[in-house]
Structure 1
Amino acid sequence: MQLTKKIKIYPTEEQVNVLWELSEKCRCIYNLALADRKNAWCNEQRSVGYIEQQNKLPEFKENNPEYKVVYSKVLQGVLKKLDANYKSFFALRKNGDMTARLPKFRSNKYFMTLCYNQSGYKINNTNIKFAHSVNKTSLDFEFNEILENVRQVEIYNDDPYKGRGDFYLSVTYDVFPKAYTDNGCYQAIDAGITKIVTCINLKGKIHEVKTPRPDKYWQKKMDSIKSKKDHCMKNSRKYLKLHKNYRVMETKKSNQLKDFQHKLSRKMVENTRANTIIVGDLKVKKMAQPKIINGEKQKKTKRIRSRNRSTQNQGYLSRFIEFLTYKAELRGKRVIRIDENYTSKECYLCGKRHDMPLGKRTMECDCGNVIDRDRNSAINIMVRFLSQNALWTGYLQFVDNLRQTGLPMRIRFLESDFQMK
């Protein structure tokens, strides 16, 4: 298992000049490789892959010795990023996202991320040194902790336009999680908008956590600054000052949401007896209304804009599931994702499917069941997991415990539905 740690560094002016020189060489390689792919397709109707371009690198460096100042693994990392961008484009198109666009050429105004994969760096306790041949300036940086089992280090700028932001190291390292054992305890989680998690276990106990909304505080200030920026000449002194303030607010908002998600995911993993956590396979990208539907541009009302912000700005629900997954694996637990289609719309008591827009928070069924939509979804996720894995005893226990907690429940699945795999 691999984790990534973010470390802030403070390069000197000479080191920044070296980083920009390396970035410029990587940018040229990226643009040349992109042009090679486009020309091969336009002229020969042929696709060029990563391996073919990597094999051309030694000959290219012999003909252009100025590129030898960059460590070879860094140039290979640039080609890998281009290949990953192409694969992402084709995957999005395959999934029906027609707004996806091919990778574009990189401008020299942007700082390129430098990726040192497996080698090209040397770590000595709390010091790291990177290889290069630009000049005699040493690229060595200090940090506050000892890192072991490091696999990859990236140098990047959090505001790459003209390198206005701070420089960071992204360190990827190996960790060794505990072995997983199924102890027969399960917990189902529904991730939502107003409540970030609604949990239920086999005993029928429900736990809910409301979503914090720091974006409501910061968004007004950020919108005000953005409005002022629109009335300034681009790159003027006032424009740059407003842009810097906007970046600071955006960073604080993002950090508050990320901090909350880290603390909540750790607390959930540590405080549950269940070694198996079931979550719905949430597709946050589809929750917001797109700008174009059936070729027509949609008018964004205040209600739609508010809903889109509530779905997309909540610290990214999919990121919270990733935090929960790796923290669970470190403690010998497992997070299982299952299809959650119609879990909020389908009554867990009788199975009837309702029309439940995001603004409707309570389900009222003809069978007499009145329940919060997130609780209904959590129960359906638990039932779906138990039925898919043929856990008939656990299902009967879950039904009985729900009755004891005061929630109506009847057995809707026959024993023949629980086929052993």
Structure 2
Amino acid sequence: MKLVERHVITKSHYLWSEIDHKAFLSKNLFNLANYYYRQYFFCDQKKLNFNELYHKVSNTDDYQALPTKVSKQIIKRLDKSWKSYFSALREWKKQSNKFLGKPKIPKYKHKSKGRNILPYPDESIYKKALKKGICHLSMSEIKIPTSQTEIIEARIIPKSSCYLIEIVYEKQEEITNNQQIAGVDLGVNNLIAVTTNQTGISPLLIKGRPLKAINTFYNKQRSCLQSQLKNNHNKSNSHRLKKLTHKRNCRVENYLHTASKRVIDWCINNEIGTLIIGQNQTWKQEIKLGKKNNQQFVNIPHYRLIEMLRYKAQLRGIKVIITEESYTSQSSCLDGDDLPKDGEQKPEFSGKRV
């Protein structure tokens, strides 16, 4: 399984200026390649062949401003985005109800404020430095300490107020013969509730109130800052607002990692071999719990939590099943109520929601 080692580069870091400059050059190449893709699409309603694009941009200053392998990865990623667009468009024409709207073509990045990802394949990382525990990126002074000896890729990702250097490596998954099953229910006040089919084992409950407190503080601070910006400067964003958002995201991410690790440790201690997680499609868009509860539910990144549980479970050899959980709060298994899928004809249940 591929995993990522992260390093955060803030504006006070000595590597900031070099990374920011290279991300700007990456944006220039992205916009140039996207120009050719868009013009070809507007004329023929088709995707430009990658080889044709490569011959158009390979001799330009924007392409040669970065290491060749990095530049090629940038246009390959853009080519993949265009393929995804056409694939999504075909699927949208068949079943538009799966989408929130019609797929859109990749846009340009802002001429001066825009930044783009910098993907460095393993060929663009100096091997001698890597043996000493340093990830040294090709044709740069960017050197990052790492505990990994074999790297698949290093990538520099621009965020609102920082850069993330992600070092991608591979880790072997474990194998387990455990046959016990556990179920996970996600919520708000109780972020995670886990139970098992074994008798005599206490369920695991992880509070969601710390996440609610983080989001409440963030929403109040953001509202105050936005009001000041609008009244005093007629702006909608600022460095302080970006920093606040980044801090909130880091705190949420940390709590989700801690919670998901507790779940997997609980599963290992109780010899769980299969983990079943309930999830509904478009549950964030169609939820109707009242204005206050809606805001609290939508602000918690449950899908991100599910992804964390999935990869951590697979690393420990635990099978993960994602299942529909519509109407489980109202139906009664003792009365033999059926469990239809969300969106089908409205059923009648023996129980009532209280």
TM value normalised by structure 1: 0.68
1:49-81: per-residue Cα shift (whole Å, max 9, x none)? xxx32554256323x256323112222222233
- Which residue of structure 2 lines up, in the alignment, with residue 104 of structure 1? 107
2-side partners of 1:246 and 1:65: how far apart? 35
How far is the alpha carbon of 1:253 from its aligned partner?
2.3
Summarize the Cα distance change of 1:9–1:275 in structure 2 as closer, same or farther, 3 Å threshold.
same
2-side partners of 1:220 and 1:17: how far apart? 33
How far is the alpha carbon of 1:249 from its aligned partner?
2.7
Summarize the Cα distance change of 1:40–1:260 in structure 2 as closer, same or farther, 3 Å threshold.
same
Query: Is the CA contact (8 Å cut-off) linking 1:152 and 1:173 kept in structure 2?
Result: yes
- Which residue of structure 2 lines up, in the alignment, with residue 383 of structure 1? none
Query: Is the CA contact (8 Å cut-off) linking 1:282 and 1:318 kept in structure 2?
Result: no
Which amino acid is 1:337 matched to?
I
Q: Does 1:158 align with 2:155?
A: no
- Which residue of structure 2 lines up, in the alignment, with residue 275 of structure 1? 273
1:92-120: per-residue Cα shift (whole Å, max 9, x none)? 84523216432211122222211112321
- Which residue of structure 1 lines up, in the alignment, with residue 345 of structure 2? none
Equivalent residue runs for 1:58-73 within 5 Å: 58=55, 60-62=57-59, 64-65=60-61, 67-73=63-69
Pairwise CA RMSD? 3.4
- Which residue of structure 2 lines up, in the alignment, with residue 337 of structure 1? 322
Q: Does 1:215 align with 2:215?
A: yes
- Which residue of structure 2 lines up, in the alignment, with residue 149 of structure 1? 150
- Which residue of structure 1 lines up, in the alignment, with residue 242 of structure 2? 247
Question: Residue 106 of structure 1 aligns to a residue in which SS?
Answer: coil
Which amino acid is 2:141 matched to?
L
1:211-255: per-residue Cα shift (whole Å, max 9, x none)? 1212123321221112111113257xxx87xx3332333233222
Query: Is the CA contact (8 Å cut-off) linking 1:345 and 1:354 kept in structure 2?
Result: no
Which amino acid is 2:274 matched to?
T
Query: Is the CA contact (8 Å cut-off) linking 1:288 and 1:308 kept in structure 2?
Result: no
Percent sequence identity over aligned pairs: 18
Query: Is the CA contact (8 Å cut-off) linking 2:82 and 2:105 kept in structure 1?
Result: yes
Question: Residue 232 of structure 2 aligns to a residue in which SS?
Answer: coil
Which amino acid is 2:261 matched to?
R
Which amino acid is 1:317 matched to?
H
Which amino acid is 1:208 matched to?
L
- Which residue of structure 2 lines up, in the alignment, with residue 78 of structure 1? 74
Summarize the Cα distance change of 1:327–1:6 in structure 2 as closer, same or farther, 3 Å threshold.
same
1-side partners of 2:334 and 2:4: how far apart? 43
- Which residue of structure 1 lines up, in the alignment, with residue 228 of structure 2? 228
Aligned length: 329
Q: Structure 2 residue aligned with 1:259, among 254, 263, 268?
A: 254
Summarize the Cα distance change of 1:96–1:9 in structure 2 as closer, same or farther, 3 Å threshold.
closer
2-side partners of 1:255 and 1:321: how far apart? 17
Which amino acid is 1:155 matched to?
I
1:363-402: per-residue Cα shift (whole Å, max 9, x none)? x964xx6788xxxxxxxxxxxxxxxxxxxxxxxxxxxxxx
Query: Is the CA contact (8 Å cut-off) linking 1:114 and 1:156 kept in structure 2?
Result: yes
1-side partners of 2:44 and 2:227: how far apart? 48
- Which residue of structure 2 lines up, in the alignment, with residue 410 of structure 1? none
- Which residue of structure 1 lines up, in the alignment, with residue 298 of structure 2? 312
1-side partners of 2:207 and 2:11: how far apart? 41
Question: Residue 72 of structure 2 aligns to a residue in which SS?
Answer: helix
- Which residue of structure 2 lines up, in the alignment, with residue 2 of structure 1? 2
Q: Which structure would you say has the larger Rg? A: 1
Query: Is the CA contact (8 Å cut-off) linking 2:24 and 2:114 kept in structure 1?
Result: no
How far is the alpha carbon of 1:174 from its aligned partner?
0.4
2-side partners of 1:128 and 1:10: how far apart? 18
Question: Residue 105 of structure 1 aligns to a residue in which SS?
Answer: coil
How far is the alpha carbon of 1:147 from its aligned partner?
1.6
1-side partners of 2:55 and 2:339: how far apart? 62
Which amino acid is 1:174 matched to?
E
Which amino acid is 2:3 matched to?
L
1-side partners of 2:53 and 2:81: how far apart? 20
TM value normalised by structure 2: 0.79
For structure 1, which runs of at least 5 residues remain unmatched after alignment? 133-137, 160-164, 291-300, 358-363, 373-421
Summarize the Cα distance change of 1:72–1:286 in structure 2 as closer, same or farther, 3 Å threshold.
farther
Query: Is the CA contact (8 Å cut-off) linking 1:222 and 1:246 kept in structure 2?
Result: yes
Q: Does 1:139 align with 2:135?
A: no
Q: Does 1:322 align with 2:307?
A: yes
Equivalent residue runs for 1:189-200 within 5 Å: 189-200=184-195
2-side partners of 1:247 and 1:22: how far apart? 21
How far is the alpha carbon of 1:176 from its aligned partner?
0.7
2-side partners of 1:157 and 1:218: how far apart? 22
How far is the alpha carbon of 1:354 from its aligned partner?
9.9
- Which residue of structure 1 lines up, in the alignment, with residue 42 of structure 2? 42
Runs of 4+ in 1 over 6 A off after TM superposition: 10-14
Query: Is the CA contact (8 Å cut-off) linking 2:47 and 2:82 kept in structure 1?
Result: no
Query: Is the CA contact (8 Å cut-off) linking 1:41 and 1:47 kept in structure 2?
Result: yes
- Which residue of structure 1 lines up, in the alignment, with residue 332 of structure 2? 347
For structure 2, which runs of at least 5 residues remain unmatched after alignment? 343-347
2-side partners of 1:339 and 1:37: how far apart? 39
Query: Is the CA contact (8 Å cut-off) linking 1:6 and 1:168 kept in structure 2?
Result: yes
